[in-house]
Chain A
Amino acid sequence: DTGVSQDPRHKITKRGQNVTFRCDPISEHNRLYWYRQTLGQGPEFLTYFQNEAQLEKSRLLSDRFSAERPKGSFSTLEIQRTEQGDSAMYLCASSLSGASLSNNEQFFGPGTRLTVL
């Protein structure tokens, strides 16, 4: 399967613990995005990378959240000192920047579902 993969698919943790999620984008894609989705809502943008550079961060990304893409390939999203409000689906997407000004289709992974007890 050459799509976007995320690991783990499910994570249950206790409040106050740190968690880290991994995203492997489609191999030739240079852009990588993180979104968060809570029940009944659409995904909300968190941050995105072009290659290894983090170019935009949402104000939703508090200082407990950090994302990296050290070699411009896979990315990690870490949440420190988790809170119950962090419970959500964390989605990763990737895309290829190119000649089109109208669209660079984002390909989403299946997500990591986080439950904070």
Chain B
Amino acid sequence: DAKTTQPNSMESNEEEPVHLPCNHSTISGTDYIHWYRQLPSQGPEYVIHGLTSNVNNRMASLAIAEDRKSSTLILHRATLRDAAVYYCILRGSISNFGNEKLTFGTGTRLTIIP
């Protein structure tokens, strides 16, 4: 599996934007970039995913570099409820056997300062 690299931890002030980086220099052309987050004492939850183009949803935005070797998860206005571990995950097409599972790294622990 292609590997992702994320900072171990980041801090941000409440109500400010947060940019969480992820490096994936060995990404293959068919790998999608997924983000999940894990709030304290909970299971992970899906945040967003993309292939080449930037993506927006109600939770966050995903900015993907043109060469696809890195991406950034953007929380536009962080709240205390966004304090969590954020995981950047590469995943091949679901149509191919073996791509069902999620391969988590250690993620980035985001702390929100009130």
A residues adjacent to B (C-beta < 8 A): 4, 31, 33, 35, 40-45, 48, 55-56, 58, 91, 93, 97, 100-111
Asked if B95 contacts A101 (CB within 8 A), the reply is yes
Q: Given A101-B94, A103-B34, are A55 and B100 neighbors across the interface (CB < 8 Å)?
A: yes
Interface residues of B in 69-104 (CB under 8 A from A): 85, 87, 91, 93-95, 97-98, 100-104
Q: What residue in chain A is nearest B87 (Cβ atoms)?
A: A42
Say how far A42's CB is from chain B's closest CB, in angstroms: 3
Dominant secondary structure of chain B at its interface with chain A? loop
| A48 close to B101 (CB less than 8 A) | yes
* CB <8 Å contact, A44 and B104: yes
Q: Which residues from A are CB-within-8-Å of B7?
A: none
Size of B's binding interface in residues, CB under 8 A: 26
Determine which of A100, A104, A108 lies in contact with B45 in the assembled complex, contact meaning CB atoms within 8 Å.
Answer: A108
Are A104 and B101 interface neighbours, CB within 8 A? Answer: no
> Which A residue's beta carbon lies closest to that of B109?
A40
Set of chain A residues within 8 Å of B45, measured between Cβ atoms: 107-108
Q: A101-B93, A102-B94 are in contact. Are A42 and B105 (CB under 8 A)?
A: yes
User: Are B102 and A4 touching (Cβ within 8 A)?
Assistant: no
Which residues of B (18-71) have their CB < 8 Å from a CB of A? 32, 34, 41-46, 49, 51
A93: chain B residues at CB < 8 Å are 43-44
- By a CB distance below 8 angstroms, the chain A residues around B41 are 110
Smallest CB-CB separation from B100: which chain A residue? A48
